[in-house]
Every structure is written in structure tokens, then in C-alpha cells.
Amino acid sequence: MITLYSVFPFIETEKVIDLRHRSMQIIRRQFISYPAPTIFLMIGFVISFLLISFGTSSFVQLKNMTETRNNNVPPHGIALSLSIGEGNFQFDKWLDSLNRLENDTGLIFTGLKGFLDDADSKEKVSLRAEWFKSDLNWKYILMEGRYYSPKEVMSAQPVVLLGKNLQKLSIREGSRDVVMVSGRKYEVIGILGKKNEKTNWDNTIVMPVTALPETTIGSIESSRAISMILHKESKLPMKELSLLEDDLKRAYSGSQIQAEEVQKELDYMSTALANPDFVQVLSVLVYVLALINSVNVTSFWMNERKYEIGVRKAFGHTNFTIMKLLMAEMLLLISISAVGGIGIHLALDMGVGSIAEYTTQFYLENIIVAVIFVALSTFLTAIIPALKCIKLQPIEALKK
């Protein structure tokens, strides 16, 4: 493609060289004239922009996790807490009674625990179990692999969906990956989660409820309590809720069911404001301190440059021209600081990935927020000294 630059390359080159030359002059003059204040100003803004970038990543991650959770909340769901009454409660026998539910109905059993036999720490992991007898549209998000089928659920096949953070604990056995959960071997057929994103299911194991480990079933039977989500494709499963309640109270007298509609839409903005992240709070505090310091530094610069400003005004420089000069100086210094902070964040993202459970993942939003804060910082830092410049009279400055 023929462009003006390809025909007359010296035009663009001269502009770039002139801009680069003036930028270097500004930086050199500030460092030579006021080395300590300039260094402290830039260090303060580098740290500030680094923390703001971390806070932005934390907020974006919360946003993504909230959206993922909303996508992973079944439609028309009712959260149930079952308290089993008197009688010989057998979990497997109770599961058989679920066959009376309609085909487009599903159950998600929550609050279950198990442990990975090959994990060094033997710490318990979160389990979720599903029941459905026909293929449903709603499913947990898979990063790879496949979902178990209704046939596998009904026939109690030992298959699991493994959270992506637990994938490293699986064992290769022939042509398949397996994992030992609470003493029972399961085939890993799918990996839960999203690539390069944190989700609520990264450390969770999901399996058919008919294939739960014996120890987990024993815990359910001894506690005589079940937490689960009853959901349906088309509408709230009120009919199925009544059926479950009637069957449970008929089989075990004194049983109780607490039901509450599942909240699907979560406002991540309200969540962030209600539970502010430590890094986000710290970034705001450091940023405010950096602004206060920069205003003091620029005020000091202006006081030291009164003679220069007076001469400029005497030779016809307008208030707007002087304000533009001051803004350009601050914009350049703050932009360099922002690039430094963003650069450190990028290096940490490529090097470590997280610090003390805080993600260092870099998003497009980090750059957008940095640009906004550069503009805001330049305005807030330069506006007070600039207003003082406007009031300064040339004769007054020249006398001093």
C-alpha cells in the first residue's frame, strides 16, 4: 500500500525525532534540576500503577468468576436442605425414588467432601454430584474432555469431571487418566474450568451421585442431612419439590425440607464494594499518597521556575501555552511511571503467575485503566500549580 510516509519518509521521521528530542530534553531537565523530587515522584507512581494494575486484575477476575458462576447456575433452580426423619435411612434406596421425577429434571448434590488418595497432604477436596436421567442442556463448563451421559449416571459408572487445578493429581493408566477419590478409582473423562481464567470449580470434583464413594455415602447417612439443588429446564420444579417432600415424609416421619430459589444473577460490582480486596484498598491509598506528593513536587517546581515563567509571559507566552507545557511535562513523567508499573506486572505475570494467592494475570483492562489513571493523574497533579501560573504576573516574577 502506498502511503505518505512511503513517498516522503522524512516527514514522519522528522516528527518522531523532534518528539523524541523534546521528550528527552524534558526528562533530562527535570532530573538535572530536581533529581531527588523527580525520582521520588516517579517511584511513587510506579508503585501506585503496579498496585492499581494488580487491583484491576483482581477486579476483572472477580467479574469473570461471577459471570462464570452465573453461567454455571442451573436454570429454574431451588436450593434444598433435607433433614431426614426417623427410620432406617439408606441413601441408595432413597436415590431409587428419584426415578419418579420428570425427564427434564436434574439434581446437584452440594456440600460433599472427599479426599484424593494420591495427594501428599491428604486434604479433603470439594465434591459435587449430579443426578439426571435424560440429557439436559445445562452443564458445568468443561475445558476439555466430555460430560458423562444419563446412562452412566443411571448405571453408577465411576467417572468424574476434575477441576483443572487437580488435573496434575491424576494418574495415567493405559489409555485413560484415573484418580483415586476416598479409596475408589474413577476415570477422568473431563476437566472443569476455563483456560487462563479462574473459576469456582477449579478445585472441585463432579461425578454421578450414584457413583459416590462409600465413605461419602456413610457421612450422608450418619448426618441424615442432604443439601442439593433441584432444577428443571423449562420452569421452577414446584411439582417435583412437592413430590420429593411427600415421598421423604412418607418414608421417614418427621423429615423436613427447607427450600429457597437459587439466586442466578450476582452483581460483581456490589460484591466488590461490599467485600473490598486488600490490594485494591492499598492501591487507592498509595495512589492518593502519590498524588499528594506529586502536587507538592510540581508546586515546588513552579516556585523554582517563577523567573522562567515570567520571562515566557513577557515574551508573549499565554497562560494556555504555559499550562500546556506543564501538562506535557507531567504527562511524560507519569506515562513513564505507568509503563514501568505495567512492565513489572507483565514480568511477574510471565514469571510467577500469582503472589500470595493474588493473581498477576494481565488483561486488556489493565492497559485501559492505566491510560485513564495517567490522564487523571496528569490533570490532578498539574491543575493546582497551573492555576498559580495564571495568577503570576511577569513583572512580579522578574523582580524575584
Same structural domain, 95 and 241: yes
Same structural domain, 81 and 210: yes
Decide: 341 and 45 in contact? Cβ < 8 Å.
yes
pLDDT of 187 reads 96
Distance between CA atoms of residues 46 and 53, nearest Å: 10
Distance between CA atoms of residues 212 and 226, nearest Å: 14
Q: Which of 227, 243, 262 is the last residue of a domain?
A: 262
Residue pointed to by grid coordinates 534540576: 33
Distance between CA atoms of residues 80 and 230, nearest Å: 7
Show Cβ contacts of residue 177 under 8 Å, excluding neighbours closer than 6 positions.
170, 171, 187, 188
Name the E strands within the chain: 77-83, 105-115, 124-132, 142-145, 159-163, 171-173, 176-181, 184-192, 204-208, 225-232, 256-261, 354-355, 358-359
> What is the domain count for the chain?
2
Helices (H), 100-237: 150-154, 214-223
Same structural domain, 95 and 215: yes
pLDDT of 160 reads 97
| Domain annotation covers residue 343 | yes
| Domain annotation covers residue 2 | no
Same structural domain, 300 and 322: yes
Same structural domain, 119 and 163: yes
pLDDT of 326 reads 76
State the Rg of the chain over Cα. Answer: 32
Helix (H, G, I), strand (E, B) or coil at 23: helix
| Domain annotation covers residue 391 | yes
Same structural domain, 195 and 215: yes
- Put residue 108 in one of left, alpha, beta given phi > 0 → left and psi -120 to 50 → alpha: beta
| Domain annotation covers residue 105 | yes
Nearest to 369 by CA among 63, 70, 68: 63
Distance between CA atoms of residues 343 and 336, nearest Å: 10
> Any idea what DSSP says for residue 194?
B
pLDDT tens string, the chain, 400 residues long: the values are: 444 334 334 334 444 445 455 656 666 766 676 677 777 778 888 888 888 888 787 777 777 666 666 666 787 889 999 999 998 999 999 999 898 888 889 999 999 988 887 655 566 889 999 999 999 888 888 999 999 999 999 999 999 999 999 988 899 998 999 999 988 999 999 999 888 777 878 899 999 999 999 999 999 999 999 999 999 888 889 999 999 999 898 889 999 999 998 865 555 556 555 566 666 677 778 778 777 777 777 777 677 667 777 777 777 777 777 777 777 777 888 888 888 888 888 888 877 666 655 666 777 888 888 888 888 887 877 777 777 776 767 666 556 5
Q: What is the dihedral of CA 93, 96, 98, 104, to 10 degrees?
A: 150
Same structural domain, 376 and 347: yes
Distance between CA atoms of residues 342 and 362, nearest Å: 9
Same structural domain, 238 and 359: no
Residue pointed to by grid coordinates 487418566: 177
Distance between CA atoms of residues 288 and 344, nearest Å: 21
Distance between CA atoms of residues 269 and 246, nearest Å: 41
Same structural domain, 235 and 375: no
Q: Report angle CA 253, 133, 235 to the nearest 5 degrees.
A: 80
Distance (Å) of CA 180 to CA 115, 208, 280, 357 = 8, 15, 40, 27
Amino acid, res. 245:
E
Helix (H) or strand (E) holding 366: helix 364-391
Nearest to 196 by CA among 351, 49, 360: 360
Nearest to 146 by CA among 133, 131, 135: 135
Distance between CA atoms of residues 398 and 400, nearest Å: 5
Nearest to 333 by CA among 33, 38, 17: 38
Tell me the residue range of the domain where 347 lies.
34-67+271-399
Show Cβ contacts of residue 352 under 8 Å, excluding neighbours closer than 6 positions.
360
Helix (H, G, I), strand (E, B) or coil at 137: coil
Same structural domain, 119 and 195: yes
Same structural domain, 187 and 298: no
| Domain annotation covers residue 250 | yes
Same structural domain, 44 and 80: no
